[in-house]
Amino acid sequence: MSITEIPRAFLYKCDVCGAEHIQEGASGYYTNSRPPHWAMLRIEQTAYDYQGAACADGTIERLLCDACRGEAIKVINKWATRKMKV
Ligand SMILES: [Zn+2]
């Protein structure tokens, strides 16, 4: 009989395009993080009911792969630059 430890691995999946990244051999610290060059897009907001009263946390989070991160930054910067009145 032999016993072999199988290292823990974490599979990250981009919330937009579905790209995957497998992180192996990370002893736990990686679980609440993200792969190198990936990003977490987070919009913190409150959800309101039909009468306008705050009723819940409406925060939106998207885990983005490297490519989607780059595209999101471009789109956000383009939008913000166009809207800014300087
Ligand atoms: Zn992606």
pLDDT digit string, tens, across residues 59-71: 999 999 999 999 9
Query: Rounded distance, CA 37 to CA 28, Å?
Result: 19
Q: Where are the domains of the chain?
A: 9-85
Which pLDDT band, with edges at 50, 70 and 90, does 5 fall under? confident
Type and span of the H or E element at 43: strand 39-43
- CA of 17 relative to ligand 1 center, distance in Å: 4
Query: Rounded distance, CA 59 to CA 40, Å?
Result: 12
- CA of 41 relative to ligand 1 center, distance in Å: 12
Chain segment 9-29, per-residue pLDDT in tens: 889 999 999 999 998 876 555
Tell me the CA distances in angstroms from 56 to 3, 13, 46, 49, 52, one per residue in order: 49, 27, 6, 9, 12
CA angle, residues 82, 84, 86, in degrees to nearest 5: 120
Residue, of 85 and 84, whose pLDDT is higher: 84
Predicted TM-score of the model (pTM): 0.78
Residues 6+ apart with CB under 8 A from 66: 37, 38
Chain segment 24-58, per-residue pLDDT in tens: 876 555 556 788 899 999 999 999 999 999 999 99
Q: What is the number of residues in the chain?
A: 86
- CA of 78 relative to ligand 1 center, distance in Å: 19
